[in-house]
Structure 1
């Protein structure tokens, strides 16, 4: 999978209003009602990551989940990152 050009990334981000591109990755933050809901979403996201064989850099502090996506083998953002971002959005949307 090849690294996307900056202008292609910015164009794709128009479909992902809660995501930003900086430091060679796309980033988002999600806030949940409580830790249990956040951890539940993380568990569901983990299954999707395994299915796609693509894993995020993420942190969790209480009810907040911060995610960064980049394809390390390609040295930046690829379509694989946007495919995972889309899956994450669907999972988080169902949680709400």
Structure 2
């Protein structure tokens, strides 16, 4: 079920590193090094595979951007909010 703008805004209050709208939410992380960035991507990949919900990931040296949207639903769902929270766990 797609989340409306108000529900996304409320969810993002608990995920202050994230921003977005009804199309997608995103977060950029600056890792300590390129190997640390790759390790983070690997950890997120494992969590995404377990949840069967995969973010779009852009890696540029130490900067990693995660974008979440439930493509089959056409926007942001509770699956995206849950994966954002999991990514936050993995970045701390």
Bin the TM-score by the shorter chain.
Answer: over 0.9
Mark the runs of 5 or more structure 1 residues left unpaired by the alignment.
none
The RMSD of aligned alpha carbons is 0.9
Shift of 1:58: 1.2
Relative to structure 1, is the Cα distance of residues 79 and 23 closer, same or farther in structure 2, using a 3 angstrom cutoff?
closer
Structure 1 residue ranges (4+ consecutive) displaced by more than 2 angstroms after TM superposition? none
> TM-score scaled to structure 2, two decimals?
0.97
Shift of 1:23: 6.8
> Residue 81 in 1 paired to residue 90 in 2?
no
Q: How many residues align?
A: 92
1:53 corresponds in structure 2 to: 52
Any idea what SS the aligned residue of 2:58 has?
strand
Any idea what SS the aligned residue of 1:67 has?
strand
Deviation per CA, 1:17-68: give whole Å up to 9, x if none. 1100147100110001110001001001000000000111110001000111
Any idea what SS the aligned residue of 1:89 has?
helix
Relative to structure 1, is the Cα distance of residues 23 and 8 closer, same or farther in structure 2, using a 3 angstrom cutoff?
closer
Q: Aligned runs of 1:61-76 on 2, under 5 Å?
A: 61-76=60-75
Any idea what SS the aligned residue of 2:50 has?
helix
Mark the runs of 5 or more structure 2 residues left unpaired by the alignment.
none
